[in-house]
Chain A
């Protein structure tokens, strides 16, 4: 590139780099940075979507509302003699939580809270109460989703990648099949899976009934609080596994064949080849995939929106879905912004930890 002339001077011009980066910077600033800064600001106000009232600064109130937690220890009901009352099954009877959390002047700090979870402590029952139970459920569901999807999806994707990284006739057909769900819109995929999970005559129930010779009782996968989140997890893993398989595949193909040949000569078996040649060679790919899957999993939204709307009984509430619901449906922009800020902090913390744990050790 030593040709003289205008081309060279343009490339050397100090503004050239800025000009080339400009489109990306403008787009990112408009659609990512600006909204985030706005959301950060709104989360300390009572900003509404629709309101004639002026916006006011409310400090940390939105966060206190979301994250408020209280502990309540309930003693069993006792009869006149002072011995605990038991019902017909012999279980201890406790007073209702609402007696403490509604208009009870002795427990002002628990006002409006709801039971989140609890455990037995001797005869007493210890309860953890949440001020915003729906948010807490969304938070736990999101964490469960990430904790399951990140390892399972990356492992499955690696398995698929290893299987199709062979020189077989027609291997491209398999690659295409595994990759297909990735290119179909997630909304379409979610709609299809709604039919698959249908409780009356869904494909999954029919298949299980057929395989078990009719012993299997049909389950309403998305209508049952115990199965709904797992149904979404399974479907989400299936949907995006092809994408990560392709990334693994690209990693696999950068490993020099000569290393495998050397291992062969040394007499390594298949497992040893994987453990000492393939896996070290995939290190950077693994870091990338882990970070990408984690971020994508935290952003779970479309599946919930299309398949369950957060139900049944909040079993599939997740953070992004709650942020959208509050901001737009409930017209509470401040509440939605506060959730987004919390989500940002969580993802940031996890990413930093991941970077630290997977850093290049010298």
Chain B
């Protein structure tokens, strides 16, 4: 069927027949956001605009619930049924690109100018995916609480230092007004751990894996800086400054709003909800600086083209169409994420100048650092999460980091160094 259709559409173009919708080649698109009506209506809007804007391609949407999405793509890849366009979580992209599920995008020169670095998915020197948005994490606080306890309000140029941050937590805890001084979100035991907590490790000077070669974690995840981070991390729980791994998700969602927690380390996607509850008193503060600058994680969901697509040029054309500022702004207004360009940010309610979440754009621009860009990240994230949980629950810091390092190195070795297949 497909070659015939392609031939027909080629013929249609050759004859320059207007309005030949029947001659469009179908491109399938898989998306992870099933169940979210707002997300769906925006995406459907983009697809309709794209399909109407030209005569070659017709994108068809298929949606999956987020929890089942990655499994569906892997299953489809194994059975050879991948769609033309897939969306992919930023840090997972190198794994899929390496496994041969994805191919580099064919974007025109300058299409990604002005994009936040976290929205561009690059692997092996090629752009495989691009996001319409990025996400950012901030320290949620109440201005009134900080002023009452004489705590300095940090800025991007002068973030809290490690000692200052520790003093602040102790002060807040000692005030007795709060159940815990800080909520890290230990209840959210998924990608949140590496996304939200690896930046602390980076700021200490450690890392999950050596970023030069991606061949070893030795000395990076169990070096002196990482051990210092691990000991600090454990001390948060020993001093009972933060809720532990058995925190309930409901407490995570309402604890700061209800005043049980003085500070909260949370993503911008919680921003609007918290703002509605807390009002003008709410502050979004930059990450503390543990010695190597304040850091937060970058990269969210992005669009890419599958390796089995017969029409990669059409798939890329759709992606290039979708990354226009107006759609970036629409997604941001709809679901509260950070638009990928400054121009789009200016068009949004929340991220334009004076907008309530504007600060997140600055945080993302100034502090965002990508999680390790390697196919092994998927495994490394699991080991990192386990190590942080174990250390929080009292395991020996050095032994735990050693174990995670060994597990990561074994995995790299089992995969021949994650070398790209030639």
Contacts and interface: CB of A to CB of B under 8 A. Distances in A.
A133 B389 CA distance: 16
Contacts of A199: 246
B248 A52 contact: no
A64 B106 CA distance: 46
A51 interface: yes
Nearest to B99: A50
Nearest to A335: B414
B414 A46 contact: yes
Contacts of A309: 189
Contact of B402 (A102, A328, A331): A102
B259 interface: no
A313 interface: yes
Given A49-B74, A223-B244, A312-B389, A332 B414 contact: yes
Interface in A4-29: none
A147 B296 CA distance: 47
B126 interface: no
Contact of A198 (B98, B189, B245, B248): B248
Contacts of A96: 398
Contact of B406 (A48, A112, A200, A332): A112
Interface in B58-80: 71, 74, 77
A244 interface: no
Contacts of A48: 414-415
A311 interface: yes
A62 to B, nearest CB: 10
A48 B411 CA distance: 11
Nearest to A54: B421
Secondary structure of the A contact surface, majority rule: loop
B393 A225 contact: yes
B399 A331 contact: no
Interface string B91-114: 000011011110000000000000
| Most chain B CB neighbours (cut-off 10 Å) among A46, A51, A98 | A51
A50 B96 CA distance: 8
Nearest to A52: B421
Contact of B378 (A46, A133, A314, A331): A331
Interface string A25-68: 00000000000000000000010111111000000000000000
| Most chain A CB neighbours (cut-off 10 Å) among B71, B77, B96, B395 | B395
A101 to B, nearest CB: 8
A315 to B, nearest CB: 9
Contacts of B189: 309
B270 to A, nearest CB: 21
Interface in B357-401: 378-379, 382, 389-390, 393-395, 398-399
Nearest to B396: A115
A198 B187 CA distance: 13
B403 interface: yes
B95 A133 contact: no
Contacts of B421: 52-53
B414 A313 contact: no
A197 to B, nearest CB: 9
B53 interface: no
A314 B77 CA distance: 33
B416 interface: yes
A52 B393 contact: no
B415 A222 contact: no
Given A51-B415, A52-B421, A199-B246, A311 B403 contact: no
Interface residues of A, number: 32
| Most chain A CB neighbours (cut-off 10 Å) among B251, B395, B415 | B415
A50 B95 contact: yes
A329 interface: yes
B394 A313 contact: yes
| Most chain B CB neighbours (cut-off 10 Å) among A112, A115, A133 | A112
B411 A200 contact: no
A311 B245 contact: yes
Nearest to B98: A52
Contacts of A198: 246, 248
B382 A220 contact: no
A272 interface: no
B102 to A, nearest CB: 12
Contacts of A313: 389-390, 393-395
A296 interface: no
Contacts of A104: none
A253 interface: no
B246 A220 contact: yes
A50 B415 CA distance: 10
Given A46-B414, A220-B244, A314-B390, A98 B98 contact: no
Contact of B393 (A50, A112, A223, A331): A223
Contacts of B415: 48, 51, 53
A236 to B, nearest CB: 19
Given A52-B99, A98-B399, A223-B245, A312 B74 contact: no
A96 B390 CA distance: 19
A200 B248 CA distance: 9
A330 interface: yes
Given A48-B415, A330-B382, A311 B390 contact: yes
Contacts of A223: 244-246, 393
A283 B412 CA distance: 54
Given A114-B399, A331-B379, A50 B74 contact: yes
Contacts of A328: 71
Nearest to B405: A102
A329 B383 CA distance: 11
Nearest to A103: B218
B245 A225 contact: no
Contacts of A329: 382
A249 to B, nearest CB: 38
A312 B247 CA distance: 12
Contact of B403 (A51, A53, A114, A332): A114
A355 B245 CA distance: 43
Contacts of B74: 49-50
Interface in A295-314: 309, 311-314
Of all A-B residue pairs in the complex, the 5 with the closest CB atoms, nearest first, are A223-B246, A52-B421, A312-B393, A50-B99, A313-B393
9 contacts: A52-B99, A98-B398, A102-B402, A112-B410, A114-B402, A199-B246, A222-B246, A311-B389, A313-B394
Interface of A: 46, 48-53, 96-98, 102, 112, 114-115, 133, 198-200, 220, 222-223, 225, 309, 311-314, 328-332
Given A52-B420, A199-B246, A330-B379, 7 more contacts: A98-B399, A102-B402, A198-B246, A223-B244, A311-B390, A332-B411, A332-B414
